Structure 1
Amino acid sequence: MPVLPGAEPFRHDGGEVGVLLCHGFTGSPQSLRPWADHLAERGLTVSLPLLPGHGTRWEDMAVTGWQDWYAEVDRELRVLRERCGQVFVFGLSMGGALSLRLAAKHGDAVSGLVLVNPANKVHGLSAYALPVARHLVRTTKGLTSDIARPGVEEVGYDRVPLHAAHSVRAFFRLVDAELPQVTQPLLLLHSPRDHVVPPADSARILSRVSSTDVEEVLLEQSYHVATLDHDAERIFELGYSFVGRLAPSVGKKGRTSGG
């Protein structure tokens, strides 16, 4: 199945410091591509994978689950670890949950986390109906393009397969239980006016991780997909500064081919 225009994965072979970027549920690398470009232009090695079942059509997502999505980012992290001296993991929405699990499972192999509007729970009464509803109804309305900036669209699905949504719910519960295992430095940025993930998710994550080096930043001008919104440049600059503070080798040049 062909990948939607703009949803292609991205890799850049740069220096000794690597960043793995994890996109959100029903979204695609397009939501994080400007961030990936920002990092690549500054000499970092960057990996922005396309999660299985994403970036094509919703029917493809209906036959995948959290194990598939996590396996993809886990594999990319291992590749980066072979290439780089230090690796950081950045995530948006469900990508934040994927990032947190990588940190919990890989320990010192992850040098730090930058999370934007990370998701921790499927909210509302519909969450409790998912175990039964997924056998009766195939999809519900999509979650993409919650963006305040006029004229900007997110590449993703306009339908959510309920089997996949049920898997997300199970994954969030799993990650929530693992949050105390997260000890890495953490920069968490979230939007007070997020129409997909409420601020309560960020608050819970911050209350349960064991990290001691923690910074919380409010994105007052943006909605959920803040990496494509008014606060995008601020996110990119803060993320790069975070890496630079924790990675002494961030200025050292490695191979710079790729793209």
Structure 2
Amino acid sequence: MPVLPGAEPYRHDGGEVGVLLCHGFTGTPQSLRPWGEALAAAGLSVVLPRLPGHGTTWREMARTRWQDWYAELDKALADLRGRCAEVFVAGLSLGGCMALRLAQVHGDAVRGIVVVNPSIANDVPLLALAPVLKLFVASVPGVAGDIKKEGVAELGYSRTPVKAAATLPRLWSLVQGELDKITQPILVYHSRDDHVVKPTSVRILRERLNGGNLTVVELTNSFHVATLDNDADQIFAGSLEFIRTHASVPLQRD
């Protein structure tokens, strides 16, 4: 299946500190590419995979589930760990949820976490009916492109495959059920105006991660896809400072 131009994965072999970037549901690496390039320019090793079923057609995505997307990220994490002294994970939206899951599963192998408008809860009541709805409806309108900045577009599907969406509640349940396993430092960027993910997810993180390892930064001039929006530079600079602070080995400039 041909990959949409701009949806290709990104990789940069830099120094001893690595970052795995996870794009969101129905999105592509394009939404995080500038973030990855900014981190790479600072000397980090960066891997930004294209998740299975993404960046091609929504019909292909309908044949995948969250376990397929997570497996791709797990493989990328193993690759980074094999060539870096320390690894951080980061993600946007559902990619943030999967970054949290990686931290839960791999523990100390993940040095720290950065998430932007993470999705860890069901914000759409109709999704509870997805296991039945998928028998009658193949897709519903998409959620890509929630960006405030004029002239900027996200490369993502205009339709959401119901079969793929029906697998999400299980992932959310797993992540919420094991939040106590996250002891790594975590930086959360949260858009005040987000038309895709409601504040529920960040509220849950505030309530459950009360061990002093959580920092939440509010973004005032961006919508959901903040990594392509007006506050993108703040995210890039802040996440780099977070990594510098929590890495035990120095970052190496190219």
TM-score by length of 2: 0.97
The aligned amino acid for 1:15 is G
**Aligned sequence identity (%):** 52
* Deviation (angstroms), 1:211: 4.9
State the match for 1:80 in structure 2.
80
Q: How does 1:1-259 map to 2 (within 5 A)?
A: 1-209=1-209, 211-252=211-252
Cα distance in 2, alignment partners of residues 29 and 154 from structure 1: 10
Give per-residue Cα distances to partners, 1:71-101, cap 9 Å, x unaligned: 0101111110110001000110000110000
Cα distance in 2, alignment partners of residues 25 and 193 from structure 1: 19
SS in 1 for 2:15: coil
Cα distance in 2, alignment partners of residues 40 and 236 from structure 1: 11
The aligned amino acid for 2:241 is S
SS in 2 for 1:157: coil
The aligned amino acid for 1:72 is E
SS in 2 for 1:143: coil
Give per-residue Cα distances to partners, 1:151-172, cap 9 Å, x unaligned: 1110010000000000112211
Q: How many residue pairs align between the two structures?
A: 254
Give per-residue Cα distances to partners, 1:104-161, cap 9 Å, x unaligned: 0100000000010000122233122112101110000000000000111100100000
Give per-residue Cα distances to partners, 1:35-57, cap 9 Å, x unaligned: 00001111100000000000111
Cα distance in 1, alignment partners of residues 190 and 250 from structure 2: 26
The aligned amino acid for 1:25 is F
What is the root-mean-square deviation in Å for CA atoms of aligned residues?
1.1
The aligned amino acid for 1:76 is A
Cα distance in 1, alignment partners of residues 205 and 145 from structure 2: 24
Cα distance in 2, alignment partners of residues 61 and 252 from structure 1: 38
CA 1:240–1:193 in 2, change beyond 3 Å: closer, same or farther? same
SS in 2 for 1:236: helix
The aligned amino acid for 2:91 is G
Is contact 2:14-2:252 (8 Å) kept?
no
Cα distance in 1, alignment partners of residues 211 and 55 from structure 2: 33
Is contact 2:3-2:56 (8 Å) kept?
yes
Cα distance in 1, alignment partners of residues 121 and 248 from structure 2: 36
- Structure 2's unaligned 5+ residue stretches are none
Give per-residue Cα distances to partners, 1:168-222, cap 9 Å, x unaligned: 1221112111211111100001111000001121111232236532211000100
The aligned amino acid for 1:108 is D
- Structure 1's unaligned 5+ residue stretches are none
Is contact 2:44-2:252 (8 Å) kept?
no
Cα distance in 1, alignment partners of residues 3 and 47 from structure 2: 17
